Structure 1
Amino acid sequence: MVIGIDIRPLIERQLTGVGYYIYETLVNLFELDRQNQYKLFYNSFKIPPSVLVEHLAKFNNVELRVFKKPSKILNFGLVFFNRPYLDKLIGGCDLFWFPNLNFWSVSPGCRTIINVHDLSFKKLPWVCSGKMRLWHHLVRPEQKIRQAEKIFTISQNTKNDLITSYCLPVAKIEAVYPGPVAGPFSAIPTEPLPLPANYLLYIGTLEPRKNIEGVIQAFALLERADLHLVIAGARGWLYKKIYSLARQTKVSERIIFLNYVSHASRQYLYQNARALVWPSFYEGFGFPPLEAMACGCPVITSANSSIPEAAGRAALLVDPYNVNEIKEAISLIISDDRLRESLVHQGYEQVKKFSWSKSAGEIKQIFDQLKPA
């Protein structure tokens, strides 16, 4: 079977969770499956393929198919004319997999699978910028969801959200858990990090959905002059409000912003933090809690959406809307060494439940079920 895969998120200079999800999934899928033929699609006018893309192309049954036009031109045609057919651009395929919500169109008869990582745009529209709301309007998620033959989610919670939001049949959706992106396999940072000796960690994009303001407010309530807060992540929508709040607190000199950090540096941050504080308002899975556990870092996170599926009983779960509850969880985790040790041990056990090779095996099994007769 010939399978097309949209890898446009891998062209981004700064990969987010979705980009890492696609890369890790494909590496494990290609190592497992040597029978099917894979055509990896992306468009690029000037940008050369990244190191990650070049690595994927080294597998014998994998080839790159590049559409050498800017995204604006490609997306304009897809939005207003439903052209070009992406399966035709790659020379034909039996099945096209879109691992992230994006602009696409395929010819009649081409079977499709899409990933829906979360429904934040529908469940919490206030966390989406005007630009992002326009993007979703143009992409037309509901149309794509109904058009696809199968839908992959990375949590049971998102599967349930899809069923209730769009009245979809249960059999159309497959919840396939991912693995942890970071792990204890590279402890040396790729770049110097200005870290204090004793710090709490938040890691992820700086945007309203992540509730970084709640983390800062909870940290400001702590009476621990020796403790710092390290916030690492790319600047997202309304990031200036987060910076402004940090400056206004009485603990501003103990709040450190690192911006986007590399894969290896992220692992270093986890391994040296007192705890990860990650009380997001809504997630389709939530990689950082699982990554932290893989690196021996105790976790405070939210008791909502899909996050308990990833964290299990190996984290302190809090109400993200309750700053005092977040503060009490931090106080508990930094003062109780026995609790910290227990969470670290439980975290290692929780991580064992998730595996990229297992995820790839489940995806291949679904591909095989869709083989042409």
Structure 2
Amino acid sequence: MKRIVIDGRIIASSTGRYVERLIHYLEILDKENKYFILVPKKDLNLYPLKNPNFKYVACDIPNFSFKEQLDLIKVINNLNPDLVHFTMPQQPLLYNGKRVTTVHDLTILKTYNSDKNWIVFHIKQLVAKFLFKRIAKLNDFIITPSEFTKKDYIKFSKIDPKKVFVTYESAENLSKKEAVYKPLNNQKFILYVGQQSDYKNIKNLILAFDRYRKDNPESKVKLVLAGKINKATEKNLNFVNSSNLIFKEDIIFTNFVKDEELVWLYKNAICYAFPSFMEGFGLPGLEAMVYDLPVISSNQTCLPEVYQDAAIYFDPYDIKDIQNKIEEIISKKELRDKLIKNGNKLLKKYSWKKMAKETLEVYKKALDN
């Protein structure tokens, strides 16, 4: 029996879905090894464990902090692990045991979020550039969620390609329950779900939507931007409110929605729009496909690799192209039906259980290395 530590401090974040699904299926797949999952104290009861060989360990050490470099080593060493899986690149560089790290994407290295303090963000970015290169040497293996991210990371870090493994993520039903999102009942709408950092390109989606409505005055379609309102979202909200957009009243910022309401939004939208400049995998588009929602997507980075023929693509830098794809998906029912059919086929290629199984194989390689 080996002792494996999983750094799950991000379990309650947007990337936390990866951590939660990994743990869920490892509990099913691995009845041999003992697991210790580091999570913030507030998240100890977020996802109850069922396998007696799995245990949560409270760890309130912040990401990208000095404590992470010093105190986290003590927490890990006290658990006497044979292997540590860091589910994000941030980790104590002086830890000298066997380790595996998941690199989800390189957005922190290549983008700037204008809602952040410029000096603080760029200092963090310089630290991240050093960290991303250093972990290539310190880790036994690196895991990425797509071939694009694998190639991107190899190019940046100069790591031996044999040390990098791709484990595709997946999508499942968010909730068995469904609740009407009352403000949009009986409305037609385009849906986007998630964060609104600059690289998500929400501003161009907003401009393209307004142009679509201007050119199609008979349309009553709304644009729904679902997700918690934070500083990045407020920036887009202020842009809409202070702009001269003709159809600003039909751009809806929902704020936080419950999973049951999100299910209803997915089921009742006309299409899902994903205008991002950069992604490591693009999970929201797959989640839309789970609910038979056709997807229009940016043609950048990993998205064509992941969505294949289950989406139609646009240049996210070209507002006119985004507008054209909005018009095409709304006006052509046969296209929507085709994308739904292709999406159903595509979903069969992805599996969280398969991801966990492949991750377990990486663990075994690292332990035998």
TM-score (ref. length: structure 1): 0.89
Instruction: Find the counterpart in structure 2 of residue 64 from structure 1.
Output: 56
For residues 82 and 62 of structure 1, what CA distance do their matches in structure 2 show?
Answer: 23
CA offset digits 1:248-289 (Å, max 9, x no partner): 211011111112323332222111100011110000001111
1:234–1:260 contact (8 Å) kept in structure 2: yes
What's the CA shift for 1:138? Answer: 4.1
What's the CA shift for 1:100? Answer: 1.4
Q: Equivalent residue of 1:71, what SS?
A: coil
Candidates 273, 280, 292, aligned match of 1:296 = 292
Instruction: Find the counterpart in structure 1 of residue 104 from structure 2.
Output: 117
For residues 243 and 101 of structure 1, what CA distance do their matches in structure 2 show?
Answer: 32
How do 1:75-90 residues align onto structure 2 when only pairs under 5 Å count? 75-79=65-69, 81=70, 84-89=73-78
In structure 2, do the counterparts of structure 1 residues 27 and 127 end up closer, same or farther at CA, with 3 Å as the change threshold?
farther
1:100 aligns with 2:105: no
1:317 aligns with 2:305: no
Candidates 138, 142, 163, aligned match of 2:133 = 142
For residues 115 and 238 of structure 2, what CA distance do their matches in structure 1 show?
Answer: 20
For residues 40 and 289 of structure 2, what CA distance do their matches in structure 1 show?
Answer: 36
Percent identical across equivalent pairs? 27
Candidates 205, 210, 222, aligned match of 1:215 = 205
For residues 346 and 370 of structure 1, what CA distance do their matches in structure 2 show?
Answer: 37
In structure 2, do the counterparts of structure 1 residues 259 and 146 end up closer, same or farther at CA, with 3 Å as the change threshold?
farther
Candidates 226, 232, 235, aligned match of 2:226 = 232
What's the CA shift for 1:173? Answer: 0.5
1:86–1:105 contact (8 Å) kept in structure 2: no
Q: Which amino acid aligns with 1:64?
A: Y
What's the CA shift for 1:364? Answer: 1.0
In structure 2, do the counterparts of structure 1 residues 135 and 235 end up closer, same or farther at CA, with 3 Å as the change threshold?
farther
1:183–1:291 contact (8 Å) kept in structure 2: yes
Q: Which amino acid aligns with 1:226?
A: K
CA offset digits 1:118-155 (Å, max 9, x no partner): 01122334678434443344453322232111100001
For residues 57 and 46 of structure 2, what CA distance do their matches in structure 1 show?
Answer: 16
What's the CA shift for 1:239? Answer: 2.8
For residues 335 and 27 of structure 1, what CA distance do their matches in structure 2 show?
Answer: 41
Candidates 224, 240, 244, aligned match of 1:246 = 240
1:39 aligns with 2:36: yes
Q: Which amino acid aligns with 2:25?
A: N
What's the CA shift for 1:185? Answer: 5.7
For residues 155 and 70 of structure 1, what CA distance do their matches in structure 2 show?
Answer: 29
For residues 127 and 209 of structure 1, what CA distance do their matches in structure 2 show?
Answer: 10
Q: Which amino acid aligns with 2:111?
A: L
User: Structure 1 unaligned runs (5+)?
Assistant: none
1:127–1:209 contact (8 Å) kept in structure 2: no
2:100–2:366 contact (8 Å) kept in structure 1: no
Instruction: Find the counterpart in structure 2 of residue 371 from structure 1.
Output: 367
Q: Which amino acid aligns with 1:175?
A: V
How do 1:124-135 residues align onto structure 2 when only pairs under 5 Å count? 124-125=111-112, 129=116, 130=118, 131-135=120-124
Q: Equivalent residue of 1:100, what SS?
A: coil
In structure 2, do the counterparts of structure 1 residues 259 and 83 end up closer, same or farther at CA, with 3 Å as the change threshold?
closer
Q: Which amino acid aligns with 2:258?
A: S
Instruction: Find the counterpart in structure 2 of residue 9 from structure 1.
Output: 10
Candidates 334, 338, 341, aligned match of 1:338 = 334
What's the CA shift for 1:236? Answer: 4.7
What's the CA shift for 1:204? Answer: 1.0
Aligned length: 357
Comparing 144-153 with 355-364, which one deviates more in the overlay?
A: 144-153
TM-score (ref. length: structure 2): 0.89
Instruction: Find the counterpart in structure 2 of residue 199 from structure 1.
Output: 189
What's the CA shift for 1:291? Answer: 0.7
